[in-house]
Amino acid sequence: MSTINAYKYAGKSDKINPMIFRYAVISSVWGMEIPKDIDLKRFSDEAVNVLKAESHSEITDRLIFLYGAGVISEETAVSLIKANKADFYEDIIAAEEAVISGINENAEDTLPYIQIENILLCAANSKKYPEIQPVSFAEAQIIAGLPHIVLVKGFAKIKDRDFYEFLVNFDEAFGTVTKDDTVRIENVPENLLECEDVKNGEINSVYYPFAVNLRKIMRYAAVFDKLYGREFISFAKENSLPVAIKGYKI
């Protein structure tokens, strides 16, 4: 039987493709096979071609695992692997913990995978784009559970016109992602209310602006509907007083 040097395929490269080959060799030597009752997703050829030359790290390993286990989409996996930021490593760990802890919980207490993905994206986007205030996975989870806010591909969008107008009158910053994958801050907040997608409630549109001051929005949304909540927020801002929920302050 002819033999082929495994190092010919793995080499000294730090890219994803050679490292995946190393794992394949190790798994084979270990005699490990995926149990037949585990249903794994596979990257499309297009995704593999995009990612094969990307740098390898533990972040990429964990994101590939999250994708293969069906927690996150191919689009999310590819975008976060390409970003490959150590800043959101802890958020990826937290997303995995949310999956693992949910295995032994009641169904009604378990976070759906789509929600875990959106929370992870929210936390990761806040580190990927410098214009967005950084939040942790735990903070993003609070945001995801608040009224008036919906996470769309990880971006915090205001779904209620009343709250939207309140924030615009407060001069809160909103932005959109441009074609070159940067965030453009809307300089004239009043114009946001004239945006066709905002007027029509097309919240899934890429042209529907998202909030960038995430911690502040998180606290405003938590207080807004309470008795005299709007008045309290206004009073707190005018007098530089903190608005706090669960120990977080603005």
How does pLDDT run across 56-70, given as a tens digit for each residue?
999 999 999 999 999
For position 174, what pLDDT does the model report? 93
Cα distances from 131 to residues 31, 134, 173, in angstroms, run 48, 9, 10
Residues 6 or more apart in contact with residue 96 via CB below 8 angstroms: 62, 65, 66
Query: Alpha-carbon dihedral of residues 98, 103, 108, 113, nearest 10 degrees?
Result: 50
Asked if 151 contacts 119 with a C-beta cutoff of 8 angstroms, the reply is: yes
Average pLDDT, the chain: 86
Give CA–CA dist 242/167, Å, rounded: 17
For position 240, what pLDDT does the model report? 67
How does pLDDT run across 140-184, given as a tens digit for each residue?
999 999 999 999 999 999 998 889 888 888 888 999 999 888 999
Q: Where are the beta strands (DSSP E) in the chain?
A: 149-152, 155-158, 174-177, 183-185, 210-211, 244-245, 248-249
pTM: 0.87
For position 12, what pLDDT does the model report? 74
Asked if 215 contacts 226 with a C-beta cutoff of 8 angstroms, the reply is: no
